[in-house]
Structure 1
Amino acid sequence: MTTATACPVIGSTNDVLPPNHPEIDLAKDGQTCPVVGATTDHHHNLHKHPSVPVESPTATECPALKNVVQQPKSQAMDDAICPVVGTATTVLPPDHPDTTEAKEGDVCPVTKASVEHHKQKVHTHPSLQAASDVAVCPVTGQHGLAHA
């Protein structure tokens, strides 16, 4: 059994696109996701969602994801269900722009997510000021984070 790796941008360990995701050729580099603005360059591990009748097209309604966030590893990573991408850590990446001054209607410059559905749901990453290049991320457990 393989272990899912965390996305380097949002920390998500989910590798299945939402059922309502627009068609995109994941094997072709240089494309930009119309939903979150991510490029296909580092998303070759993603898969299309199986064809299922969907009551609601949001990830929060997926029965599989609701179970995933109850797993000990997800809880240790402080995972929650993002309505767009599914399971994701609620801790922002260390190089994420400051969100303390964000206002209603603002959009994340990284993922294009709106402030409205992330307000008081995401947290600042712990400081990496003293971290070495081979440190282990305290949030996702990824190895080799280089500090700024």
Structure 2
Amino acid sequence: MATTTACPIVGTTNDVLPPNHPDIDLAKDGQTCPVVGAKTDHHHNLHKHPNVPIPDPASPTATECPALKNVIQQPKSQAMDDEVCPVIGPATTVLPPDHPDTSSAKEGDVCPVTKASVAHHKTKVHTHPSVQAASEEKVCPVTGQHGAAH
């Protein structure tokens, strides 16, 4: 994971799908992930998790992965304010600058972009600093993405 870049939507630097992820042909464009709604068109950098014995396929989460627990201690993860999401692994806790306001979201609401539930994210994510005055050359202070990538 030394040279991975952050996802411009959720800020994850993890490029390995969870071991219990449904089978999906990552090389085929036009497919939608049944878990988070991501399109395969933009995720050709993802890899399937190595085969591991899973006693209960419904239970393993990214928070139980020993490799991902260590990743959030790395300087880049610390700079991005990463936490380990049980679904996608290390991800920034800062919402993208164009994310809709979540202050009036109700407990049962679901993010239309990532299918994330408000119930699990209400107190764990933060509003992105204002980028209204930022030029195209600026770099995001959270994910390191250039202005054009946001």
* TM-score (structure 2 length as normaliser): 0.92
Shift of 1:146: 6.7
Task: String of CA shifts for 1:45-99, please: whole Å, max 9, x gaps.
Answer: 0000111124641111111010000111100110001110001111011111111
User: Aligned letter for 2:7?
Assistant: C
SS at match of 2:49: coil
Task: String of CA shifts for 1:12-58, please: whole Å, max 9, x gaps.
Answer: 00000011110000001111000001101110000001111246411
User: Aligned letter for 1:45?
Assistant: N
SS at match of 1:74: helix
The match for 1:129 is 132
User: Aligned letter for 1:34?
Assistant: P
Q: 2:99 aligns with which of 96, 99, 102?
A: 96
* Root-mean-square deviation (Å): 1.5
**Distance (whole Å) between structure 2 residues aligned to residue 146 and residue 36 of structure 1:** 20
Equivalences for 1:60-71 in 2 at 5 Å?
60-71=63-74
Task: String of CA shifts for 1:124-143, please: whole Å, max 9, x gaps.
Answer: 11101000011100101112
The structure with the largest helix share of the pair is 2
**Distance (whole Å) between structure 1 residues aligned to residue 2 and residue 52 of structure 2:** 25
The match for 2:32 is 32
- Structure 2: 5+ residue stretches without partners: none
- Structure 1: 5+ residue stretches without partners: none
- Percent same amino acid at aligned positions? 84
| Count of matched residue positions in the alignment of Structure 1 and Structure 2 | 147
The match for 1:46 is 46
**Distance (whole Å) between structure 2 residues aligned to residue 110 and residue 60 of structure 1:** 22
Q: Runs ≥4 in structure 1, deviation > 2 angstroms?
A: 53-56, 144-147
Shift of 1:2: 5.3
**Distance (whole Å) between structure 2 residues aligned to residue 146 and residue 20 of structure 1:** 30
User: Aligned letter for 1:18?
Assistant: P
